[in-house]
Amino acid sequence: MLPLPKKYFVTAAAAEGETRLTAFDGALLAARVGNTNLLRVSSILPPGCEYEPGLVIPPGSLLPIAYGSITSSEPGELISAAVAVGIQAEGFGVIMEFSGRCSKEKAEAEVTAMVKEAFRIRELELCEIKLAAVEHVVEKIGCAFAAVPLWY
């Protein structure tokens, strides 16, 4: 059995690259998770998981992470990514991710609405939302990335 993560933070960043992969890599670096091995997870924040915005993940770590990203090679295109964590009183939470060809404000509205719906369908009381979002105007090849890294 894998241990439950005990800490998390929210992050969002964007970058340009010479290729789609290096644009994604640059966004990961700017979001403070670029020197880890991402293990993509779905949308649940474990009960009791504590928010730690300054959390440093050791390089090379296998990192559980929920994220949304978009990469574009259309110069002038506006791209955005956002994540939101909805939290109930007992600390259990739901994570939602969004990315698209839209403004940061639109991405924030989308993830916020998804968190509210997730709590409604679970019949849980939403106490708090933590959010991170970024927008980027593509120069050559750009990536927008938003994530919730989970740590032990």
Q: Catalytic: 43?
A: yes
Q: Catalytic: 37?
A: yes
Q: Catalytic: 97?
A: yes
Q: Catalytic: 42?
A: yes
| Other residues' Cβ atoms within 10 Å of the Cβ of residue 56 | 9
- Please work out, in degrees rounded to the nearest 5, the angle formed at the alpha carbon of residue 95 by the alpha carbons of 89 and 99: 150
Instruction: Tell me which of 18, 35, 37, 74 is the catalytic residue.
Output: 37
H/E stretch holding 23: helix 20-30
Instruction: Tell me which of 69, 72, 80, 97 is the catalytic residue.
Output: 97
DSSP annotation of 89: T
Tell me the C-alpha distance between 128 and 88, whole Å: 7
Instruction: Tell me which of 16, 43, 61, 103 is the catalytic residue.
Output: 43
Q: What are the residue numbers of the active site?
A: 37, 42-43, 97
